[in-house]
Structure formats: C-alpha cells, structure tokens
Amino acid sequence: MSIHASDPFATPEELRSPVRRLRGRLPAAVTLWTANPRHGLTVSSMLVADGDPGRVLGLVDEESDLWEALEESGRFAVTLLGEDDRQLADRFAGLMPAPGGLFATGDWQPTDWGPVKPGQTWAGCRLDGSRPYGWSLLVEATIEHVELIEPASGTLLHERGRYRR
C-alpha cells in the first residue's frame, strides 16, 4: 500500500530523457550475466548475432563489480530469465536487498564461464573487447557454449520500467 498515487521521487516528465524513454518502449528480454568468482548483473540491453562463431553484444556499467570480474576472467555466462525470476532480476540489478550476497539464495551451477541457474537456457561467452558507448560499455564477446532448456514459464521481458509477460 502506498500513500502516493505516483512515485514522489520520479524525475518530472519534462526533465526525462527522450532517448531513455524511447529505449524504455522497446521490450527487451531480461538476462543475468555472471562471471567467476560469483559476480553478476541484470542486463536487458543486449543482442545475440548469429554467425560462425555466434556473438553477444551488451551494455554494461563499467563501475559494476561484474565488469571488473569480466576484465579479470575474460569469460562470462548469460542466462535467460523466466517470468518467475522477477525478484532475482531485481536483486542482481541492485533494486532489492541481497542479504548474504547475490548468490546466497537459490540453486547455482558452477561453470567455466560463471554460475548459472540450473534448468534455464544459458550461453558461455569469451570476452573479445569493450568500448565506451553512451553512458555504458559496449561489451563484445564470442559464444563458446550454449545450453538450450525449454522454459517452465515464458521469458521475462522489461518494458517502460516494468516487467511484463
């Protein structure tokens, strides 16, 4: 229950970035990027390019713990999240408390690329490079391994600041 009809801390409409608002109107699949030793970040600004080899491009905050781990290890895992993973996505995005650390709850399967959630589609990637892009880093990687799992629920999507089916 809230005493406000809207978010009292939200940026006023006239001060919001039109580019950010445009991006928010593009539905995006929500993924979890993880790297050893147990760092992770929710990422929805990404795409997969088919080819031989397949490639992954994504926008990551260069000040995140994940980026530091990616630079050090040169490898990471990308897990596609399902509709039931909203709290997990919020936890790794820093929007929800994570007592005991990001990986303290749930089952995690260790891989050479980073921890992944068992029973979900994921890809193991090798970092090829990065460069500043907007207010983020554009991360480029080669897909080295893919595990395709039929999801128990639909893919978690993010649009206009909310999750949707």
HEC-encoded secondary structure of 113-142: CCCECCCCCEEEEEEEEEEEECCEEEEEEE
Instruction: Kindly state whether residue 8 falls inside one of the protein's structural domains.
Output: no
Domain count, the chain: 1
Give the model's pLDDT for residue 5. 65
Can you list the residues of the chain whose pLDDT is less than 50? Answer: none
Structural domain containing residue 158 = 34-164
What pLDDT score was predicted for residue 163?
87
Give a yes or no: residue 64 inside a domain: yes
Asked if residue 21 belongs to a domain, the reply is no
What does the pLDDT read at residue 155?
A: 92
Q: Is residue 140 part of a domain?
A: yes
Q: What is the per-residue pLDDT for 159?
A: 85
Q: Can the peptide bond before residue 115 be classed as cis, meaning omega within 30 degrees of 0?
A: no
Question: Is the residue at 120 inside a domain?
Answer: yes
- What's 145's domain CATH number? 2.30.110.10
Which pLDDT belongs to residue 152?
77
- Residue 43 domain flag: yes
